[in-house]
Structure 1
Amino acid sequence: MTSRIEHRAAFTIPAATVHARLVDRAFLEARLRAIGGKNATLVDHEIIGETVRYRLRQGIDSAKLPSAVRNVFNGDLVVERTETWHPDAPGFTGTTKATVAGVPAEINGTYTLTITPSGCELRTAAEVKVRIPLIGGKIESVIATHVRDLLAAEAAFAESQ
């Protein structure tokens, strides 16, 4: 079973500006400090031609998890997220893959940053899959909700910079 994540964020600034922010090392580090969660860090950041790839590590404090999840996993959840971005005229596209340490779970998704008359729009489409019999769907739902909230916070942070 998988849980789908769909998210849209509208920006009043050009797509090139949003993209430049989203892939900038200093911006990513600032975003992680502001909203990245427990022990958040930028693990890797590389630029190869016009492609930017980076890996983030973000923690979710166990106290913020629903009891159904805390009963299955002891301690905080640690999420490793790899994103790859490249130009895709007239906008930009990206992919994301995230894993949760110690949990048979993964998130795979795509980003599309397109130009709009008022600026640009970032669309995220992803799927969460947790391979645990009986309770996997519940955990997927919790992760999907957390990811949606995180995407909204990240978009607001990008708009404010």
Structure 2
Amino acid sequence: MAKSFDYSEQIAYPIDRVHATVTDRAFWQHRFEEAPEKLTLDDSRGPGTLTATMRDTIGASSLPGLVRKVVSGELKVERADEWGALDGDHADGRISGSSTGIPVKIDCTSVLRASGDVTVLDVSGSVQVKIPLVGGQIESLVRKLVGDMVGQDRDAIEKWLGDS
């Protein structure tokens, strides 16, 4: 059974600047400057939109013990962030994730919304791991990792905007 989650982070900048950042190729290229081959960017859906797809390989020794019990070798993971155009005081997005080596699927909706002079990033979704007996435990672990990822995204956006 999939585990659902809701995360919300406040970003200390106005929505127009935050949205411009998450749809800026240079922002994503900077985040992955040490491994540009792991990043694919697509802005073909039109102005103010962007899909950033990140791929990585995680060695077994870097995985939590519970996951190492069910995965042999490397784990190939993929995350895709898709942002739509800014529509007044909000922008809708989607985050998806998957992996090979372990049947995990992450599916989220994301929203940037104005809240006074700051922006709120809301992420709601679910994670599903189809492994008998331990799938639920791994789902709980992945759910926590998604929450950490949302916080890291906030930090990266604020750093980018603070440095510009």
Q: TM-score, normalised by structure 1?
A: 0.86
State the Cα deviation string for residues 72-117 of structure 1 (Å, max 9, x = none). 1023422212222113332101012211123211000011100011
The range that moved more, 46-55 or 134-143, is 46-55
- Structure 2: where are the runs of 5+ without partners? none
Determine which of 80, 84, 99 is the counterpart of 2:82: 84
* Superposition RMSD in Å: 2.1
1:61 and 1:77 in contact (8 A); partners too: yes
Which aligned pairs between 1:29-48 and structure 2 lie closer than 5 A? 29-33=29-33, 41-48=38-45
Aligned to 1:98: 97
**What is the CA distance between 1:70 and its match in structure 2?**
0.6
The range that moved more, 131-140 or 25-34, is 25-34
2:22 and 2:83 in contact (8 A); partners too: no
Determine which of 72, 75, 95 is the counterpart of 2:73: 75
One-letter amino acid of the counterpart of residue 77, structure 2: V
What CA distance in whole angstroms lies between the structure 1 residues aligned with 2:149 and 2:8? 12
After TM superposition, what 4+ stretches of structure 1 lie above 3 angstroms from structure 2? 58-64
Determine which of 27, 47, 54 is the counterpart of 2:52: 54
1:40 and 1:59 in contact (8 A); partners too: no
What CA distance in whole angstroms lies between the structure 1 residues aligned with 2:6 and 2:58? 21
**What is the CA distance between 1:62 and its match in structure 2?**
3.2
Aligned to 1:138: 137
Q: Kindly tell me: are residues 40 and 127 of structure 1, through their superposed partners in 2, closer, same or farther at Cα, counting changes over 3 Å?
A: farther
Q: Percent identity?
A: 30
**What is the CA distance between 1:30 and its match in structure 2?**
1.9
The range that moved more, 78-87 or 117-126, is 78-87
**What is the CA distance between 1:134 and its match in structure 2?**
1.1
**What is the CA distance between 1:8 and its match in structure 2?**
1.2
1:29 and 1:41 in contact (8 A); partners too: no
Q: Which has the higher strand share?
A: 1
2:41 and 2:53 in contact (8 A); partners too: yes
Aligned to 2:61: 63
